[in-house]
Amino acid sequence: MTTMSTARIPPASSPCIARKPKASSNTGKLPRVYVKPGWLRKDLMGSNLRFSEFRSAKLPCSPLTVSAIASASELVKERIETKSELLVTREEGLELYEDMILGRSFEDMCAQMYYRGKMFGFVHLYNGQEAVSTGFIKMLKAHDSVCSTYRDHVHALSKGVPARAVMSELFGKTTGCCRGQGGSMHMFSKEHGVLGGFAFIGEGIPVALGAAFSSKYKQEVLKDEKANAVTVAFFGDGTCNNGQFFESLNMAALWKLPIIFVVENNLWAIGMSHIRATSVPDIWEKGPAFGMPGVHVDGMDVLKVREVAKEAVARARRGDGPTLVECETYRFRGHSLADPDELRNPAEKAHYAARDPIVSLKKYLIENNLANESDLKSIEKKIDEIIEEAVEFADASPLPQRGQLLENVFADPKGFGIGPDGRYRCEDPGFTAGTAQV
């Protein structure tokens, strides 16, 4: 093996960068997209890296059928015909566009605010991965849940948490979605079904599994027909080497829980390349090993992600169990705002920058006459205003009061830190603001 420290980018002349089959129609419409497991990854990684045996050294462009994916063939079928059928309606398309623009603008504003000192600590930005968040979360219903990692701002926004609440939380103000007590990495919203926000990788997956479990329990034991919520767990490529990931895959398949495991494989865990860290880099392949379908999808294309999401969510809601979806995506910025991002190859960054999901969707909408430039411009303007307003709101919001410090440790704090007179044990009797919900 030669060095595996960076993923190899195929030369620009290689036709295999294209992720769609050669367009046979020349109507100007893009051919029907389809999800092709695996062959993208091969091109990306170059030929001197170890691969599963069935992925032989054929012409890189020949479509390869993967035996493991065949077991999940009811989930994703290879669409060989290029029917000129649109994947989204105008409304849906605009909704997707707006959500991705919201995510991108918000994260850009976060970077600005961080460098101005308004935000502090650890901030992990989602630029470049919007297609995954939008593609999945916009297929969910309001009562479904989302569980994320520290890169959770955009998941919270897509799920419906208002931008001003997220921005305030990042500023550490009391009007934040967690009253300033969570921070960038711990976005919780009971109302919108956002379960956080976990700093430890792999930690959120079993918790997401618990949410899925509660859905199944409510249906089967508590006989609540309406409890058909599904859970989507987002996590990265680094997490897929962690024990909790495998434990969760096992139990999800064993108990057929309504969960979708979404791997946002952006190839890098801080500075550790996925290829250097993983014996078998194809994460989607690990699904069938545990008895669930594993799918690989181009995570830079929101429409493809949406197609996969549609099937996976329907599968979970039907009661057919979990799905593992590996989204090949990329983060345009470093791991966090403190990361100098020196290890990644500029050619790799450029390659993915050219596949910006927002630009791709914009192109699709315009080319298919679903929207015109001015529609999209007005969306961008609207989002800009929302973000500006969110910043102003966060700026103007008060910091948490002193009395908030000891609150919300327990749901039932009686007996804890309470003196015989029934008040919090502290020198200052007015210490608690009494604003906690007890």
Q: Which residues bind another protein (CB under 8 A)?
A: 145, 147, 178-182, 186, 188-191, 195-200, 203, 205-215, 217-218, 220-222, 243-244, 247-248, 250-251, 254, 407-412, 414-417, 419-420, 436-437
Report which of 318, 310, 308 is spatially closest to residue 287, judged by C-alpha positions: 308
Closer residue to another protein (CB): 250 or 368: 250
User: Is residue 284 within 8 Å of residue 292, measured between CB atoms?
Assistant: no
CB atoms < 10 A from the CB of 198, how many? 20
CB atoms < 10 A from the CB of 79, how many? 16
User: Is residue 252 within 8 Å of residue 321, measured between CB atoms?
Assistant: yes
- Cα angle at 147 between 326 and 302, to 5 degrees? 45
Query: What minimum distance in Å lies between the beta carbon of 209 and another protein?
Result: 5
Query: What minimum distance in Å lies between the beta carbon of 98 and another protein?
Result: 26
Checking DSSP bridges between strand 188-189 and strand 194-195, what pairing results, if any?
antiparallel
Closer residue to another protein (CB): 156 or 361: 156
Contacts of 9 (CB under 8 A, 6+ apart): 44, 345, 347, 348, 351
Closer residue to another protein (CB): 191 or 385: 191
Rg (CA), the chain: 23
User: Is residue 307 within 8 Å of residue 41, measured between CB atoms?
Assistant: no
Query: What minimum distance in Å lies between the beta carbon of 423 and another protein?
Result: 13
CB atoms < 10 A from the CB of 106, how many? 25
Closer residue to another protein (CB): 182 or 299: 182
Query: What minimum distance in Å lies between the beta carbon of 141 and another protein?
Result: 15
Query: What minimum distance in Å lies between the beta carbon of 431 and another protein?
Result: 16
* CA atoms of 11 and 59, how far apart (whole Å): 15
Q: What share of the chain is helix, strand, coil (3-state, %, to 5)?
A: 40, 10, 50
Contacts of 308 (CB under 8 A, 6+ apart): 35, 76, 135, 295, 297, 325
Closer residue to another protein (CB): 1 or 222: 222
Query: What minimum distance in Å lies between the beta carbon of 366 and another protein?
Result: 41
> In this structure, what token pair is assigned to residue 62?
């020949």
Closer residue to another protein (CB): 128 or 322: 322
Closer residue to another protein (CB): 120 or 217: 217
* CA atoms of 79 and 261, how far apart (whole Å): 24
Query: What minimum distance in Å lies between the beta carbon of 387 and another protein?
Result: 23
Closer residue to another protein (CB): 46 or 417: 417
Closer residue to another protein (CB): 323 or 360: 323
SS3 384: helix
Query: What minimum distance in Å lies between the beta carbon of 425 and another protein?
Result: 9
| DSSP letter assigned to residue 188 | E
Closer residue to another protein (CB): 109 or 187: 187
Query: What minimum distance in Å lies between the beta carbon of 265 and another protein?
Result: 22
User: Is residue 133 within 8 Å of residue 109, measured between CB atoms?
Assistant: no
* CA atoms of 336 and 348, how far apart (whole Å): 18
Plot region of 46 (φ>0 → left; ψ -120 to 50 → alpha; else → beta): left
SS3 195: strand
Query: What minimum distance in Å lies between the beta carbon of 426 and another protein?
Result: 14
